[in-house]
Homo-oligomer: A and B are copies of this chain.
Amino acid sequence: MSNMLIAQSGGPTAAINASLSGAIQEAIRSGEIGQVYGALNGVEGMLAGTIIDLRAQFSRQEDFTILECTPAMALGSCRFRLPQEEEDPALYQKIDGIFRRYDIGYFFYIGGNDSMDTVDKLSRHFARTGQDIRIIGIPKTIDNDLPGTDHSPGFGSAAKFIATSVLEIIRDCYVYDTDSVTIVEIMGRNAGWLAASAALPRTVGARAPHLIYLPEVVFDPEQFIRDVKEILSLTRNCIVAVSEGVRLSDGTFAAENFQSGVVDAFGHRYLSGVGKYLEALVRDKVGCKVRSIELNVLQRCSSHLLSATDVREARKIGSYAIRFALQGQTGVMMVFERVSNRPYMVRIGCRPVAEIANREQLVPRAWINKQGNDITEEMFDYLLPLIEGEVSHPTQNGMPQHFVLEKSIVG
């Protein structure tokens, strides 16, 4: 009976530990897996041998419940991209050594696009070298940009936080009886799923947000000012949701001039400031009271406001990953297929990770209105089930309880 190794990677989400919880619980339940190991800080920790024993840390069922309500990776994360085997054969030999040393038969990687690239490379390596080591990707991303799956765990909770916060900001906007523009800046470099979820307050009677701009449509600053003026001709408050990643017709980010030029480990530009940019634009071209609000990292770590649907699905897809591995799957990412919206039903399956890695799932153009400043009914139907349901948390001193793993390295 061989052992399993699990790790987490990429940017935090509020629900990523629910997948970890589901996987650990299913591994124990199955009786077909020996040790349940976790690597700290993703593949970096696997390479560094910072591997811990997970099974021993969960003495009570309640520990899993608390873990599921703990935001960001309990195992830590990394931004490490595995090189091709031909570029660094020694690294792959090192990996072989580590897998042999810990007798790993199963490796699960919970992450986004870059992590699925690692799943792809590892599974191809083990297949080519004839080793029966099963490598499975478990999706997570607040951006919801992983292809091949209806949606990804982590997105629903981020969408719920955005929808709720925007609804509360709307209430905040309507208290004064003066003309004003409020701009809410929402995460999403290339995909507008998160910004789209800012529209959800309109399904519960809110009159706003009035305008929504996603990165999938070219952003025209002049059209934006015309849009704002039109709203202000109808109502005193104009509320705008905008994705951090909106681009001008020349392909540059609209906020480019407001940026620091810092790049992350993958060479992505550091993005911030589209809210501040649009705020300055409105002040200059419209002249009324204006403010911008950046929802910032709270979008990805606010596990005090989890979507019950998201957490349940994240746990389930984690546990199914174990079952699929035991049934012989490898080189795949777990996926959701949506069966229906009303009632909401999904089926869990898997797809070859090679079809998924390094690709992005954007919002279909048909789910954005013709003018490019709002979303359509199809998008509402898609989004609503994903934010459904509340999770009540164990608390301590008026704050949520979190589960912190003991990080004693296995010798």
Contact = CB atoms under 8 A, between A and B. Distances in A.
A301 to B, nearest CB: 4
Nearest to A291: B297
Contacts of A396: 204
Given A41-B176, A79-B176, A293-B296, A171 B301 contact: yes
Nearest to A290: B262
A3 interface: no
A138 interface: no
A171 B387 contact: no
Contact of A304 (B168, B300, B384): B168
Interface string A194-231: 00000011011100000000000000000000000000
Given A12-B172, A301-B169, A305-B304, A400 B164 contact: yes
A52 interface: no
A78 B176 contact: yes
Interface stretch (A65-73, A112-120, A124-132, A245-253): A65-73
A303 interface: yes
Contacts of A77: 175-176
B174 A72 contact: yes
A372 interface: no
A395 interface: yes
A63 to B, nearest CB: 15
B201 A399 contact: yes
Nearest to A308: B398
Interface residues of A, number: 58
A298 B165 contact: yes
Interface in A56-89: 70-73, 76-79
Interface in A301-319: 301-305, 307
A91 to B, nearest CB: 19
B163 A204 contact: no
B171 A72 contact: yes
A175 B293 contact: no
A172 B72 contact: yes
Given A169-B297, A297-B293, A399 B164 contact: yes
Given A171-B71, A172-B300, A302-B165, A160 B398 contact: yes
A174 to B, nearest CB: 7
B404 A398 contact: no
A351 interface: no
Contact of A294 (B71, B205, B296, B307): B296
A337 interface: no
Contacts of A301: 168-169, 171-172
Contacts of A168: 71-72, 298, 301-304, 400
Most chain B CB within a 10 A radius of its CB, from A301, A303, A397: A397
A388 interface: yes
A401 B72 contact: no
Contacts of A293: 296-298
A297 B41 CA distance: 34
Given A160-B398, A200-B397, A388-B398, 18 more contacts: A12-B172, A41-B176, A71-B168, A77-B176, A160-B399, A163-B398, A164-B304, A167-B399, A167-B402, A168-B303, A172-B300, A200-B398, A204-B396, A204-B401, A293-B297, A307-B398, A387-B399, A390-B392
13 contacts: A71-B168, A71-B172, A73-B175, A76-B174, A76-B175, A76-B177, A169-B297, A200-B399, A205-B404, A293-B296, A294-B294, A388-B398, A392-B392
